[in-house]
Chains A and B, each alone.
Chain A
Amino acid sequence: MFKGKKIIVFGDRDGVPGPAIAACMKAAGAEVVLTVTECFV
């Protein structure tokens, strides 16, 4: 689904953290170019 796509991952500590999203994106064939997690509290 994401094959050939470059992905920027923006995660939330209290939601879904960046590395977890990045793992899913990679499994779906995407190239993850940046992964960042932020804390909103």
Chain B
Amino acid sequence: MYDPVIKACSHVLIHTPSFVRYGSKPSREIDDSTTPVLPAIETHLRSFEEAVEYPPNQVFIGNLHPDRLNGIEQPWYRHPVEDASRYGAYGEIMPEEEFLGLMKLADDFDLMWIEKESAPMIKKSLQAHPFWNNSDLGKIDAAVEMARIHDKIENQGSLPLYCHGRIVGCMHRHHEKDDALKAQVLMENLMAKASGALALTHLLKKSDIRADEIDLLLNCSEEAVGDRYNRGGGGLAKAIGEMCGCVSATGCDIKAFCVGPIYALVHAAGLVKSGLFNKVVVVGGGSMAKLGMKFKGHLAKGMPILEDVLGGLAFLVTGDDGESPSIRMDSIGKHDIGSGSSQQNIMESLVLKPLDRMGKKITDVDRYAVELQNPEVTVPAGSGNVPLTNYRMIGALAVLRREMNREGIDRFVLEHGMPGFSPTQGHIPAAVPFLGHAIDAIKRGEMNNAMFVARGSLFLGRMTQLSDGLSFLIEKNPGRKAPN
């Protein structure tokens, strides 16, 4: 059997400014600061139109190629894309009011109440969406009086849900003494489910297969669905699949910090290649905890809070179709436990070893997709330009191997790398936001291959000092006929 292919992908963003207050960093600062933090956050939030026109967001959904950012003066938030569309080749940017409706559709346990006067606005917004205009939105109709919402918030641990500056509902806890089922955790999990479902819906609409043809779902979201006896136990893959009508699929969740999507894609490719499964979806919803993570740096620089979007991704991995780019099964680069933790050790494991195995030079790879965090988010907060650092390291390795001169590093970065364009959503920037662009460019004959390199911070869980990483290469499909 030939190597599996990535047949389709979707990349979505959801603009959730009212949830920035519930991000991990903002919520702690709001609770702990002696000066009022929330008013400062609220005055630095972007409108939906501003989020749509933001050049990196247009790259994310496929309306601009990442290289176009090199030609747009920074700060990019001051140079909006003219005639920007919320819909793109790979997905869309969804506004908050629609997403609240989608969250309610994802809610199987009445965890979320919508306030009666806000319900028509939320329902109407979602009805205007091409994917849900004929759907049963009865769940949204079951709205409640504001007095009951206030009672839940004041007396029973529920958290208010806001939209356009007013309370439009609330999120409940589901157990008084289970931290895994408190309101903030359930809100985070429900948002991951709903945004993952949005990404999967786009994937199914884009590819020419039915939902019931999918036989396995692998969720790589950054959440920890579970209860007090099994925090992070999982189940989001099937929850997302159920919402999208994947009735013939089973599924499970793959956890590996930010490198989760790459592990999930490698698992998917291996399972398809082995013949155990035929059509595997890798899906990841957004991370509420990461909203506003760098907001203090943005406030200090007087810029808008750019971490106001959730990200979602979905990929379809199948057997060879003779046209979609193949995942080379001999290209998997892994960071072994004994590899060592220096940047050079890591990049040697993830980039050089697989290239040597394939008989390729560093410069034989047309594009490297590394951690693609938008530098406009990270640099003002003192976290540096992560993609640029990674590209320089790969370029330096090429110099060490005498594939090019030291003076060629900047050109290497420009030609084989790209500016970061992804929101800091943990798993989302992990190389894979370039997959849509790569698949299309390879199909158009503009590129032959691309390598995807992601890193995971295992040490954050305090069980090991190890970090992690995984990589793979996709290349032009040779167009062979499938063997009988």
Contact = CB atoms under 8 A, between A and B. Distances in A.
Contacts of A15: 384, 389
B457 A37 contact: yes
A6 B194 CA distance: 49
Given A14-B390, A40-B378, 13 more contacts: A13-B467, A14-B383, A14-B384, A15-B384, A16-B343, A17-B341, A17-B343, A18-B341, A35-B465, A36-B459, A40-B382, A41-B373, A41-B424
Interface string A9-22: 00001111111100
B38 interface: no
Top 3 nearest A-B pairs (CB, nearest first) are A39-B457, A40-B383, A19-B341
Nearest to A9: B465
A14 B455 CA distance: 9
Contacts of B258: 39
B77 to A, nearest CB: 19
B460 interface: yes
Contacts of A39: 258, 457, 460
A13 to B, nearest CB: 5
11 contacts: A13-B457, A13-B459, A14-B383, A19-B465, A20-B340, A20-B341, A20-B342, A36-B459, A37-B341, A37-B465, A41-B429
Interface residues of B, number: 23
B188 interface: no
Interface in B372-393: 373, 378, 381-384, 386, 389-390
Most buried by B among A14, A17, A19: A14
Nearest to B378: A41
Contacts of A19: 341, 465
Interface in B442-456: 455
A20 B390 CA distance: 17
Contacts of A17: 341-343, 467
Most buried by A among B340, B341, B424: B341
A4 B386 CA distance: 36
B145 to A, nearest CB: 43
A41 B371 contact: yes
Most buried by A among B258, B386, B465: B465
B467 A14 contact: no
Contact of B459 (A16, A37, A40): A37
Given A14-B371, A18-B459, A41 B465 contact: no
Interface in B244-258: 258
A20 B465 CA distance: 11
A16 B459 CA distance: 14
A28 B389 CA distance: 27
A1 B376 CA distance: 39
Contacts of B373: 41
Interface in A22-36: 35-36
A15 B385 CA distance: 11
Contacts of B340: 20
Contacts of B371: 14, 41
Contact of A14 (B341, B389, B460): B389
Contacts of A41: 371, 373, 378, 383, 386, 424, 429
Interface in B18-73: none
Interface in B312-349: 340-343
Contacts of B383: 14, 40-41
